[in-house]
Amino acid sequence: MKKIYIAIDLGAENGRVILGQVSDSRLNLQEVHRFSNSPIMENGSLRWDFDYLLSEIKAGIAKTVKVTNEEISGIGIDSWGVDFGLIDKKGRLIENPYHYRDSRTNGMMDKAFELIPKKDIYFNTGIQFMQLNTVYQLLAMKTSNSDLLQKTNKLIFMADLVAYHLCGKIFAEYTLASTSQLMNLQTGRWSEEIFDKLLLPIDIMPGVVKAGMVVGKLKSELAGELGATQLSVIAVGSHDTASAIAAVPAKGDSWAYLSSGTWSLMGVEVPSAIINETTYKYQFTNEGGVANTIRLLKNIMGLWIVQECRHQWQAEGEKLSYSQLADLAQKAQPFAGYINPNDSCFFSPGRMPAKINDYLKQAGQNITDDYGQIVRIVLESLAFNYRWVLERIEEVTGKQIDVLHIVGGGIQNELLCQFTADATGKKVVAGPVEATAIGNIIMQAIATGQLKSVSHGREIVKNSIKTKKYLPSDSDVWTEKYKRARKFFDV
């Protein structure tokens, strides 16, 4: 049996519309449409251009319908977490959604802790404290005396906002909603305590649905406009990491995952949230996963730092590709400096090479203007941070990790993959690069009854996608250098 699906995959740098074909034993992908996704400045704030995104998504659906003569069984949408749109009582988007890096959340975590103790927030939600979380975005609106919340009928997270515009149904898919730090992870429902104590309106929150459900049909007028039938719109793992982890070609329970891209998300699947003094100390996050799992993980700044360095150098006239930067980094001096990739100084866009040098100088290390050296410092520091997180995962779960599966666009940086194996001392299996789109399609196939389970989907991924293995080298050297680097990560 063969079925065709459309995966809409929205990332912080670009979006794709992908045609997926699933049979009993194999899966094939075809990227039909790709578009850039950059924030815009609007009224002094960093935002997402939602009309542009929606127009590109529609164009992609129309193209996809034209390239296949076969019946399409569903459409699924995934995106990054925490960001949202506000819908008024007439069902209209009130304004462009804010970007999670907008500065309005500066200081909002401290403001929240004045109203509810920090530990109470964590033990309620199980989510790592980051100023970009939805709860602090809402608190920023409340604190600024904005009338937006009074005008709002419903808040809809980004992927689900696209689904709303396609099928007219308002919902919050569980994996995406869980990133907000507004949900009680023990109950899977919105936390009344958080909303009450922060004086936020809980009535604007949509009903929560689980991944793998048909939530609606493509609006008839939109179907006509796009040359499509009224296709089923399916709630997949709407958080892109949830979809990516569904596509990890792993077996057993001695593996961890690293979803590598703008962000690095490293963790393990567990059957229920782990919220205790140790996870609070290390600031592990518990996010909803597909198939009644929890993703116990750490958010790490990831390749964002390299991306921002490249943007800065491009603005200065140096048109270097990522592969060129990786080549320069490979030739640079090893272990010339260390940073904590998660330091708040690296959170905002702009001047990233200067920020790295400021950090190095303040830490008593040598600064550098060499492009390759800067990138190597970032990549080695990421690899060391991955080791630190893996050690904490083993401590928290009591399980030994034997294999690290890396998925996502970051696996194209083969130098970082090798550094990760070297630093962690673990076997690394890299692939698939299109994990998010594949997991999106797997969950659609489960919703239609074509696949029995996530494990069934992972078997198909294993049959269909070539992976690359990296084995540790120079382990003694990396372990010795880690002793110096880890002080930047220790809590």
Q: Which residues are catalytic?
A: 240
The residue type of 55 is S
Q: Report residue 273 as tokens.
A: 């949230």
Integer Cα distance of 225 and 58 in angstroms: 9
Integer Cα distance of 38 and 96 in angstroms: 13
C-beta neighbour count of 318 within 10 angstroms:
12
Q: Is 72:6 a contact under the CB 8 Å cutoff? A: yes
Q: Report residue 378 as tokens.
A: 């970032």
Between the alpha carbon of residue 431 and those of residues 461, 468, 469, the distances in Å are: 10, 7, 9
Q: Report residue 437 as tokens.
A: 């789109």
Residue 56: how many CA atoms within 13 Å on its side-chain side? 19
The neighbouring-strand residues paired with 285 are 297
The residue type of 422 is D
| Residue 13 CB contacts under 8 Å (≥ 6 apart), including other chains | 36, 37, 38, 262, 307
Dihedral of the alpha carbons of 322, 99, 286, 118, in degrees to the nearest 10: 130
C-alpha angle with apex 77: 284 to 96, nearest 5 degrees? 85
Q: Is 285:121 a contact under the CB 8 Å cutoff? A: no
Between the alpha carbon of residue 306 and those of residues 316, 339, 410, 420, the distances in Å are: 15, 13, 11, 16
* Radius of gyration in angstroms for the set of CA atoms belonging to the chain, rounded to a whole number: 22
143: burial class by Cβ within 10 Å (0-12, 13-18, 19+)? Answer: middle
Q: What is the sign, positive or negative, of the torsion defined by CA atoms of 182, 186, 187, 188? A: positive
The residue type of 347 is F
Q: Is 63 helix (H, G, I), strand (E, B) or coil?
A: helix
Q: Is 121:180 a contact under the CB 8 Å cutoff? A: no
Integer Cα distance of 309 and 197 in angstroms: 40
Integer Cα distance of 364 and 361 in angstroms: 5
Residue 200: how many CA atoms within 13 Å on its side-chain side? 28
Between the alpha carbon of residue 389 and those of residues 250, 264, 284, 419, the distances in Å are: 20, 11, 9, 15
